[in-house]
A and B are shown apart, each in its own frame.
Chain A
Amino acid sequence: MTASITSGHNKAKAPEPPQPGGEEGPLYQSRVKIYPKRVSGTFRNLKWLVMIVTLGVYYVTPWLRWDRGATAPDQAVLLDLPHRRFYFFFIEIWPQEVYYLTGLLILAALLLFLFTSLFGRVWCGYACPQTVWTDLFIWVERLVQGDRNKRMKLDKSPWTATKIAKKSLTHFIWLVLSVATGGAWVFYFADAPSLMTGLLTGEAPLAAYLAIAGLTFTTYSLGGLMREQVCTYMCPWPRIQGAMFDADTFLVSYKPDRGEPRGPHKKGESWDGRGDCIDCQACVAVCPVGIDIRNGPQLECIQCALCIDACNEIMDKIDRPRGLIDYETLAMPDARAKGEKPKIRLVRGRTIIYSLSILLTAAVMGYGLLTRGDLEMSVLRDRNPLFVPLSDGSVRNGYTIKILNKAHETRNFSIELSGMEGLALSRPNAVDSPDRVTVAPDDVQSVRLYVTAPADIVRSPVLADGEKAINIAIRDMESGAVASRNTVFRGPQSRSQGRR
């Protein structure tokens, strides 16, 4: 089929002759400003509720306290970057445990997949920050400048003092909201009350001000100015979601079989031989992305369901049943056309797979979190030199052990060696006895260990191979908690072994 691939390079061979007068489309397109109209109804109320809850969670969370004792911060949710700790209520994550965060992200992605295959872009329509903040900004706009028609008129009118006042008030409120958004964000990264004091007295770190400035800019420009263009042009998620719909996914849809043929309707006229759509454009007026849902599923549609509310209002007024626009699957109109009863199929191959993956991920993470210990240890063997022969014929090996004390208290450990007879422990510059280590709360300590095997053991068959597996353990002297690691002890290979 290579023959059918044509490109701009072989224009000379192009089969069609040039058509003079064929109009050239514009290279660039100006945005058509959208003036979403106020609407009320079930889904609008649901959206208000989601907005209050999500914004509430966002603003309140950093101020929640959670007692962790004197050695750890008491902020319930805190990303402590300088100390490399992540606190989430009873969970505390160290940098080597970022797989919990990975797990959380995987879980979030899988949940998104599941909901998308069940109900389409519910994330976009209700919970996405872009949607929530745009909704909030539109509400502000409406509060100051009035509803759709008033705003359209205001935009067309000359720049009078009232217009300037209204416009600047809108932008001012937007900016305040944007600053508040960025301001709340930084509280997740530092102790909220003291950072708040710092911000107000101008003594907070520069990074905090820069983060607030950055987020103010993005919130203001994305929520206030760019709005639906973010969803249509910038966000990759809508394109991915397209692959997750199927014929049984519930999408906000117009029912053409019920609505067509559309046309204006006068009170008292018969409904026979015509559809229920009175072509009032109410659904188009409320749409925050400015499309007509009656044209079928479109990539711009964020599935906010406001057009359902709008049409239901109309249906109530003209006394027709609600639900001309409704959550529907693609299979439903086909079923109706065939005279079958439309089926709701929530349990399908993909939803089963997504659900199982969610359960599996959650189970693995839950198990990991529940069994997570507050003590860890690692051992690094010296490789250079592999071992040190000493003057009395004994052999010494060097190890560096790292003790991770994840508890919020100072702990004393004893170091215990096993796996080989006669091993002696020594530590250079040890303050007290070499097999005792004290580790500060919530801290990591590296300890150099020198382990010596006496001459008779070195010459005995035990070390004939030149190495012997040993075990290094640390034991909490109060609680008895143990962490241990296997490693090897090396020595010279005995002659007979070498010759073999």
Chain B
Amino acid sequence: MSDAPKRDELTGVETTGHDWDGITELDNPLPKWWLYIFYACIGLSVLGWIWYPSWPVWMGEWTYLKGVAGFSKRAEVSRELAEIEAGREVYFKQIRAQSLEDIRTDPELLQVSLAGGAAAFGDNCAPCHGSGAQGFAGFPNLNDDAWLWGGTLDDIHTTLRHGIRWEADMDTRLSMMQGYLKDGILSRSEVSDVVQYVLGFSGREDDNEAARRGATTFAEICSACHMEDGTGMHELGAPDLTDAIWLYGGDKDTIYETVANGRGGVMPAWAGRLDDATIKQLALYVHSLGGGEEPQP
């Protein structure tokens, strides 16, 4: 059935018979070693089947040839993960044992903590506080210098461990802003007056008369937490009303709503949910975001 081989006139070598616009291809024989390498590859692939997991087989149910080396990708991954864990544990032990201040002055531990803290923040905190910790209305921005419950390393650590108004935790931070209209303590006009007084802290009141009336109410009720001068109190989580940072919004209507209906955002307690070392890393990370405070001597 085979055709007569065509020959190239010049070289006398057979051509493949393919012709592209008059260009033909010489059919020179392949060198033998090339063939041997091909055989060697086939041999190697057979060795591969024996050594590594290979073919699916039917043994009453579908399974596969496991290979004599006992190799398994899944086991490999678990082993590598365990290795990483073990490597991490070296640092975690030290972080657990040392105080936050000590970790902070140890450059290596600090670097590990900031990196670990950033990762843990992305996994656990970002859903509420945002991936850049910039916060949203009701969820504080952790980059700035306004802290409801204090911004020292220990304050942040306590907040992280016990949460805010997280009832399952005995030591959680509890106090909250009551709804003064909702609870019938103040009338609508009294609320409006207090709002004017509060706006006055940042020079934004538009009704001086009302603001003056509000001053009395503020002194009687609000100053218990927010202090006489409106600068707030960390122990009770009462925000500073004189600064430029507003958790829920600083316009008149939002402040009215806050006073009328109250506020009481919740943050979960992380102690028991995250490893102690991870919580410490988070405290150091949040503290490093730019607003971290130093303890008062």
Contact = CB atoms under 8 A, between A and B. Distances in A.
A31 B19 CA distance: 29
Contacts of A396: 143-144, 290
Contacts of B124: none
A391 B289 contact: no
Interface in B242-274: 243-245
A226 B33 contact: yes
Interface size range of chain B in the complex = 35 or more
Interface in A21-60: 22, 24-31
B30 A27 contact: yes
B34 interface: yes
Contact of A8 (B17, B35, B110): B17
Contact of A428 (B17, B133, B287): B287
B241 to A, nearest CB: 11
Contacts of B1: 11, 18
A385 B126 CA distance: 13
Report whether over half of chain A's contact residues are helix, strand or loop; otherwise say mixed: loop
A396 B245 CA distance: 13
Contacts of A233: 31, 34
Interface residues of A, number: 42
B19 A4 contact: yes
Contacts of A256: none
A229 B30 CA distance: 12
B288 A29 contact: no
A342 interface: no
B31 A28 contact: yes
Contacts of B48: none
A429 interface: yes
A447 to B, nearest CB: 12
Contacts of A455: 244
Nearest to A382: B132
Given A389-B144, A391-B244, A25 B290 contact: no
A382 B290 CA distance: 12
A335 interface: no
Interface string A4-17: 11111001001011
Contact of B143 (A24, A226, A388): A388
A5 to B, nearest CB: 6
Interface string B67-94: 0000000000000000000000000000
Nearest to B146: A391
Given A18-B4, A382-B132, A391-B145, A30 B32 contact: yes
Interface string B230-243: 00000000001001
Contact of B33 (A1, A24, A229, A398): A229
Interface in A444-459: 448, 450, 455
A403 to B, nearest CB: 16
Contacts of A496: none
Given A8-B17, A29-B32, A389-B244, A429 B4 contact: no
Name the residue in B1, B32, B290, B292 with the highest tally of chain A Cβ atoms < 10 Å from its Cβ.
Answer: B290
B5 interface: yes
B18 A6 contact: yes
A394 to B, nearest CB: 9
Contacts of B228: none
Given A22-B5, A384-B134, A428-B288, A7 B18 contact: yes
Nearest to A396: B290
A428 B19 CA distance: 74
A491 to B, nearest CB: 12
Interface stretch (B21-29, B204-212, B219-227): B21-29
A389 B145 CA distance: 9
B29 A428 contact: no
A198 interface: no
Nearest to A226: B33
Nearest to A16: B4
A164 interface: no
B138 to A, nearest CB: 17
A483 B28 CA distance: 63
Interface in B1-24: 1-6, 13-14, 17-22
B104 interface: yes
10 contacts: A6-B18, A6-B19, A11-B1, A229-B33, A390-B146, A390-B291, A426-B290, A428-B287, A428-B292, A429-B110
Which 6 residue pairs spanning A and B have beta carbons closest together? A384-B132, A391-B243, A385-B134, A19-B4, A29-B29, A428-B288
Given A16-B3, A428-B290, 4 more contacts: A25-B13, A384-B130, A388-B141, A396-B144
